[in-house]
Amino acid sequence: MKVERDEAPNERSGVVSPLRGGVRSVRVAVFGFGGVGRELARLLAFRGGEIERRYGIRFLVVAVADSRGAAVKTEGFTGYELLKLVEAHRGGVSNTPWGRSGWSINEVYDEIVPDIHVEATPPDYSTGEPGLSHAFKAVRKGAHFVTANKAPLALKFWEIMEEASKNDVYVGYKATVMAGTPLVSMLRGLRGYSIRRVEGILNATTNYILSLMEDKLVDLSDAVRIAVNDGVAEPDPRLDLEGWDAAAKIVIIANTLGIRLGLSDVNREPLNASLKDVISAARRGFRLKYLAVLEGDGGGAWVGPGEVPRESFLGMARGVLNAVRIDVGVNVISLSGKGGGVEVTAHALLSDMLEAVRGWLPP
């Protein structure tokens, strides 16, 4: 690992113990400086000192990049400078004092290879770009890859993992599925179990829309309009309504459980519910939900609208909540919590950044 150490290791154990005051500096580059990238910068500016005291790790942001360029400071931005970057207008990091207009990942990596690459660019499920090229570049250069962007893993999960393994780097992706809730960590704890069925509500936007339809008795197009106004749905919510987001998440879940599945293997039905469907389900004691289902080993996967009993675990997950139920034969495990939002997503990225350097944390 290339992380610089500021203090001599504890001679007896051979590692720096944060409990004894050793601090290691870890260089971080953030690609994608919109809602999530900026929230991570804010989090590091406000909580960096606390992280350093608790874990003996000093995260130094050495570069942030948006679609038009980058801002680079090889010795790392101070907390104050990070907050100045956060204030830059959208697409404007290259207009700041550290700005490099037109710089993409290649120029940034020529200047400085980070220890951790954070990917917070938008997903593109046909090409995977720019996240896919970023993922390969990062791991081949020996940077740990921590991502909120699902597309690279939904399209090339094993290729990225194999390349990362060859280069001895970590791939962290807690922020991609149920970002606010540690589902990915839990799935890793289920290795070796047989997987009978995973079913979940993994897309907050469609769950919010269906909750609105039921509560306000509005049709789909009105509910979408309200969700956009409320800031829950993107102005162009097609990735959610057509099921791409949920499909990418069930693919990531499957592969984490060792079940090899690609995005094109998922049977995907868009959200096409009418108010009549929602009312009819309610009259019979059910709720219409946008479900993502993995049918055990070899059984395939699908995403689409489906009815669940109103009082069931999934039935009770309303609004922007996510929920997942995993049947492993000897047990059924349920988990629910916030699916996204920039704050919880930035926390998930930070948690993965610490996981990437876990060898240096106290046991």
Ligand X SMILES: NC(=O)c1ccc[n+]([C@@H]2O[C@H](COP(=O)([O-])OP(=O)(O)OC[C@H]3O[C@@H](n4cnc5c(N)ncnc54)[C@H](OP(=O)(O)O)[C@@H]3O)[C@@H](O)[C@H]2O)c1
Residue closer to ligand X by CB (options 56, 200) is 200
User: Is-contact 271 206, C-beta < 8 A?
Assistant: yes
| Nearest CA among 341, 304, 342 for reference residue 321 | 341
User: Is-contact 61 30, C-beta < 8 A?
Assistant: yes
| Nearest CA among 118, 154, 185 for reference residue 346 | 118
Min. distance of Cβ 215 from ligand X in angstroms? 23
Residue closer to ligand X by CB (options 306, 322) is 322
Min. distance of Cβ 172 from ligand X in angstroms? 13
Tell me the CA distances in angstroms from 157 to 45, 135, 255, 301, one per residue in order: 32, 10, 7, 16
Is residue 141 part of the annotated active site? The answer reads no
Min. distance of Cβ 276 from ligand X in angstroms? 32
Binding site for ligand X (CB under 6 A): 31-37, 65-68, 90-91, 120-123, 130, 148-149, 175, 179, 340-342, 345
* The token pair that represents 155 in the structure block: 């399209």
Residue closer to ligand X by CB (options 148, 288) is 148
Residue closer to ligand X by CB (options 39, 199) is 39
Min. distance of Cβ 270 from ligand X in angstroms? 18
Min. distance of Cβ 12 from ligand X in angstroms? 42
Residue closer to ligand X by CB (options 288, 346) is 346
Q: 150, 156, 249, 289: which one is catalytic? A: 249
| Nearest CA among 363, 355, 361, 359 for reference residue 146 | 355
In the chain, which ranges are E strands? 4-5, 24-31, 57-65, 69-72, 99-101, 116-119, 144-147, 171-172, 197-201, 266-268, 286-294, 301-309, 321-327, 332-338
* The token pair that represents 160 in the structure block: 């990225």
Tell me the CA distances in angstroms from 148 to 34, 49, 128, 157, 357, one per residue in order: 12, 24, 13, 14, 18
Q: Which residues are catalytic?
A: 249
